[in-house]
Chain A
Amino acid sequence: MNRPVPPGDGLVDDPVALFSERAEQVGISVITVGTYDEAVERAVALCRERRVQRAALWDTPEMAPIRDRLRAEGVEILDPRGSFETLAGAEIGITGAEWGVAETGSLVLSAGPGKPQAASLLAPLHIAVLRSDRIVPGLATLLERCGPLPSALVLITGPSRSADIGLVPVLGAHGPTAVAVLLVAGLFLGDSG
């Protein structure tokens, strides 16, 4: 018996627009910015608004400017290679997102050294920085492109939720109560195609 070929994704005219629409529908705030520098500014502004004192950030080159700016503002940056217990003290988690999925409005994060799952899971607010050219039309395309797989690849489609008690949806059941994406919509010269 030959393996049946699974159907691919349907045609999506404008994956970025669809992603934004559907991410908002599941409760992810989409903040579109023109450049990466602007994303840094917005992340810092969000922390300031919320009077954040402790933040958990991925230890990646992409996060370095945000980390430095937050430190300059007096925010304590928790050691991204520290223990789960340490990171559990964060009021905000800031990470990258490798992919976005238009059909479902999902963020896709991969784990790795300096990229703990704890950063997207433990704080009440999670912010991810996503490049618009990393948005794929659907899950089939994502799974075609996302290999080889890291120890954990996690699709995040909204804040943590549960409707177990009284059928009433509650946010922040175990993970973040709020999720936002800083969607960098600029042109990415030098690495297209």
Chain B
Amino acid sequence: MPDHPTRIDLIRNIERALRDESLQRQMGKAMPASRRARADAVAELPEWESLRSAAAGIKDHVLADLEKYLRQLESQISALGGTVHWAFDAAEARAIITDLARSRGVRRIVKSKSMTTEEIFLNPALEAAGARVVETDLGEYVVQLAGERPSHLIAPVVHKPTEEIADLFVKKLGVPRYERPEELARVAREVLRAEFLAAEMGITGVNFAIAESGTLVIVENEGNARLTTARPRIHVAVMGVEKVLPQLADLSVFLRILARSGTGQRASVYVSLLTGPRRAGETDGPEELHLIILDNGRRRLLADPDLRGALRCIRCGACQNECPVYQHAGGHAYGSVYAGPIGAVLTPAYEGLERARDLPFVSTLCRACADVCPVKIDLPGMLVELRARAVRTGLASWRDRMLVGAWTFFTRSPARFMLAGSLGRLAQRLVARGGKIERLPYPLSGWTAHRTAPVLASTPFRTWWKSRQGEGR
């Protein structure tokens, strides 16, 4: 079957990533450090498992009654003087935000890190509307200067070595070449501080929204989200429908699991609970507050009982840090906004399995992602389900279908399994050298492309076991 024209070629992307030495060095440093930090932070909490269960339970409860909580959130925010906008898809969200900017004569916009705004390709639309948009999270700022996209949920520029950032600053900011991270951060701080002071609109994501109080919760380490929400006259917050929580009491569970899972901190440096726009007598905070509630495929996912659990995701990045594929592939290989195990589920769900057909297949199903997921998403189960769908709908490659078909045939009964062994022992005479198989012919060639396979034993285990019956007891 012909490939979808814009199909994500994950295999080719990964092969390219594996040849990229600087990427491999970066990932080789960052991923183990992130895993250790998380493991230490989690080990400190004896109640970790009960927190995970509570978090999963609260999310499932919300998802089962989503409209009610979203309506409650809307009425609370309206009562506080904010405005809620509903966006069915990316185009609607972009139109709402660009209209807001245009109608209020906004020329300068600061943004704090938000995957949801990445998802709707917001920045080009705002620029086309004549506004200057500046990302203010340090990593996102680098990504923006480089004209790239973030490669990790919480470490957007994890793929880029410091020397490249130093060169980028020279080229784009016209500053002398600084090489130390603290010098580069200072340069960015100065440039961005001026942007904050000049901005008329601040755009942020939302980590959690509390229905009962109309509170938007934003979690960060740098303080750029605080500046983005405290200084500009207008605050536009963009959230996916799944971010709502019923009550303030629910928040403690999520704050405790998010920071520990993401960065290994007990708490992120800044957690802002924003309840409505600026009030009488106050001198900072936005005069106008707009909340965009975005669907963009989420309600379709909600209606899918096998994949619905992916909407529990709180974007901590732990599954990425833990994934043996992501660790080497890096985020860009996944060809979309969300990478790693959660991306391999969300991208097919949001953008179509046709475009993302390879993503669910590129996983060892080792379950490391499921073990660390703080909201207990069954990522491996979802990847298997997506594989099954790809096969059922004829999207899986011919080779994969043939191999899976052969496997299915030979593992149906013990006799067929024995037959496969006998055939294999005959066939390997053609390819084995010195007890090893270094190259298998198509369609098995992939198996030996990067490793040497051992030969099948001359006597099958079952035969050997039978011959030992009664010995040594």
Contact = CB atoms under 8 A, between A and B. Distances in A.
Interface of A: 1-4, 6-7, 9-10, 22, 26, 80-85, 88, 101, 103-106, 111-114, 116-118, 121, 138-140, 142-144, 147-168, 170, 172-176
Nearest to B213: A149
A81 B280 CA distance: 12
B271 A174 contact: no
Given A2-B61, A165-B185, 14 more contacts: A88-B193, A111-B284, A117-B285, A149-B275, A150-B279, A152-B230, A153-B272, A162-B185, A165-B165, A166-B181, A170-B181, A174-B192, A174-B226, A174-B227
Nearest to B169: A165
Given A81-B283, A152-B273, A174-B192, A167 B33 contact: yes
B177 interface: no
B272 A152 contact: yes
Interface string B289-326: 00000000000000000000000000000000000000
Given A10-B47, A149-B275, A164-B155, A155 B226 contact: no
Interface in B137-153: 137-139, 142
A167 B223 contact: no
Given A6-B54, A6-B250, A152-B230, A173 B282 contact: no
Contacts of B29: 167
A165 B274 contact: no
B248 interface: yes
**Secondary structure class of chain A's binding surface, majority of residues:** loop
B253 A6 contact: yes
B136 interface: yes
A164 B280 contact: no
Contact of A174 (B136, B181, B267): B136
B197 interface: yes
B360 interface: no
B58 interface: yes
B380 interface: no
A85 B29 CA distance: 40
A6 B181 contact: no
Interface of B: 29-30, 33, 46-47, 50-51, 54, 57-58, 60-61, 64-65, 136-139, 142, 155-158, 161-162, 165, 181-182, 184-186, 189, 192-193, 197, 213, 215, 221-224, 226-227, 229-231, 246-253, 255-256, 265-285
Contacts of A84: 197, 230-231, 284
B157 A112 contact: no
22 contacts: A6-B58, A6-B252, A7-B51, A7-B54, A10-B46, A82-B283, A88-B197, A118-B283, A118-B284, A143-B252, A149-B215, A151-B277, A155-B267, A160-B221, A160-B269, A163-B155, A164-B157, A165-B138, A167-B30, A168-B162, A173-B223, A174-B222
B157 A165 contact: yes
B55 to A, nearest CB: 9
A103 to B, nearest CB: 7
A138 to B, nearest CB: 7
Q: Which 3 A-B pairs have the closest CB atoms?
A: A175-B223, A113-B281, A164-B139
Interface centre among B33, B60, B268 (most CB of A within 10 A): B268
Contacts of B138: 162, 164-165, 173
A162 B240 CA distance: 26
Contact of A157 (B33, B165, B269): B269
Nearest to A4: B57
A153 B157 CA distance: 30
Contacts of A160: 221-223, 269-270
Given A111-B285, A118-B284, A157 B223 contact: no
Contacts of B221: 160-162, 173
Contacts of B142: 164-165
B231 A175 contact: no
Contacts of B186: 172
Given A3-B58, A139-B255, A162-B221, A174 B282 contact: no
B208 to A, nearest CB: 12
A151 B275 contact: yes
Contacts of A168: 162, 181-182
Contacts of A26: 265-267, 269
A157 to B, nearest CB: 4
A140 B248 CA distance: 9
Contacts of B156: 164
A1 B266 contact: no
A142 B267 contact: no
Contacts of B256: 139
B226 A175 contact: yes
A135 B59 CA distance: 29
Given A7-B253, A167-B30, A103 B272 contact: no
Contacts of A148: 213
Contacts of B223: 121, 160, 173-176
A159 to B, nearest CB: 7
Contacts of A174: 136, 189, 192-193, 222-224, 226-227
Contacts of A166: 161-162, 165, 181
B172 to A, nearest CB: 15
Given A3-B246, A7-B47, A156-B269, A151 B197 contact: no
Contact of A165 (B181, B193, B224, B270): B181
B230 A117 contact: yes
A155 B270 contact: yes
Contacts of B47: 7, 10
A83 B283 CA distance: 7
Given A84-B197, A151-B279, A104 B57 contact: no
A103 B223 CA distance: 21
A101 B266 CA distance: 11
A148 B282 CA distance: 17
A175 B137 CA distance: 12
